Amino acid sequence: MSWDEIVGHHTQRDLLRGTIARQRLAHTYLFVGMDGIGKRAFALKFAQCLMCQRHTAEEFDACGACPGCKQVLAGTHPDLFVVGCPEGKREIPIDTFLGPADKRGKSGLCYDLSHTPMAGGRKIALICDAERLNEESANALLKTLEEPPPHSLIILIATHIDSILPTIRSRCQVLRFSPLSTADVAELLLKNGLTTDADAAQVAAASSEGSLTQAAMLLDGDLRAQRNRLFDLLAAPAFNSLAVTGFVMDGIEATGTEAPVQREQAGWYFRFCVEFFKTAVTELITQQPGTIPQVTQFRQRYGQPTADQLTGLSNVVERIVAAAIHLDQNVAVALTVEALFDEVGRMLRAVPV
Ligand SMILES: [Zn+2]
């Protein structure tokens, strides 16, 4: 069946199928989960199932060959609207919902949704990057969410639920999406032809936090080389905060002076650090050998760890995760990096080998 194309997210699929079977489909959904795990592809498949002319909605499947399916796949279905943050813009403008200033209220998504569906079923809107709604566009959308047209289905897609205005959130059924498993990501990399190298796919998937987008970026040899060099530093017998900070800041500054790009690069280093220490903790608990040589080198020094050592190392992981969240909150990158590695050094010295 056509859902086979969607990797993972079976719980969400079954939940929606059940909701449709009970005829309890809501007018508005909010799909939440990290970037690059297939929320948009899932939402499109969902829409396709509702628009397929050979399957009833209750069957929750799509043939892929009828006019409805073909139009969804080609992005030309007259009752399906996909909007998001325009390329190069930071926010979704109000025009997206209400049309340009000279045609306010006479075009745009809210206008389109208010009309009867052309194909007779539903009008479905996917609002991608929903965290990029500004106050004005959120208010415009809110009016439609407060009184959704009877034939409409609106799916907002966002990375963090906290970034959605409470007034919008409260009008939506929230559906949370989990990161993909490492095996699923590796499979997708190979299946989608992003690489033919199974080892590279495995390494990229392991550091991807379950995001295909992140994994695809990690296929980049430079980034993998950076990860490897960072792991060398992290595995050094005595953690050298200055050396790690210097290496990371050099890498960040090499990306240029744009703050969002710098933050993205910093995010990679933080993820690598989380991967390193998390893997070390797992291997110390299970006493099973892993595949990252530097992690092996690091954890062998602990041998059979004490409870204090395990707690100390887990705290290091948590501290790095917290720093990664700070990065998203627009705190200055250099300050975050310095403070983090300074503290990680202190924390590691507090759990001596
Ligand atoms: Zn079909």
Distance in Å, CA 54 to ligand 1 centroid: 5
Rounded distance between C-alpha atoms, residue 192 and residue 190, angstroms: 6
Residue range 47-57: mean pLDDT, rounded: 95
Rounded distance between C-alpha atoms, residue 249 and residue 236, angstroms: 18
Q: In this structure, which amino acid lies at residue 74?
A: A
Distance in Å, CA 186 to ligand 1 centroid: 30
Q: Which domains does the chain have, with CATH numbers?
A: 2-176 (3.40.50.300), 220-350 (no CATH)
pLDDT tier at 50, thresholds 50, 70, 90: very high
Beta strands in 138-294 (DSSP E): 152-158, 173-176
Distance in Å, CA 237 to ligand 1 centroid: 60
Higher pLDDT, 222 or 248: 248
Distance in Å, CA 150 to ligand 1 centroid: 23
Distance in Å, CA 53 to ligand 1 centroid: 5
pLDDT in tens, 56-67: 999 999 999 999
pLDDT in tens, 124-154: 999 999 999 999 999 999 999 999 999 999 9
Distance in Å, CA 63 to ligand 1 centroid: 4
pLDDT in tens, 280-321: 999 999 998 888 899 999 999 999 999 999 999 999 999 999
Share of the chain above pLDDT 90, in %: 76
Distance in Å, CA 64 to ligand 1 centroid: 5
> What's the chain's Rg over C-alpha atoms?
23
What's the predicted TM-score (pTM) here? 0.75
pLDDT tier at 218, thresholds 50, 70, 90: confident
**CA nearest neighbour of 125 among 142, 106, 110:** 110
CB 194 within 8 A of CB 219: yes
Rounded distance between C-alpha atoms, residue 135 and residue 176, angstroms: 24
Distance in Å, CA 154 to ligand 1 centroid: 21
pLDDT value for 26? 94
Distance in Å, CA 39 to ligand 1 centroid: 21
Distance in Å, CA 81 to ligand 1 centroid: 18
SS3 287: coil
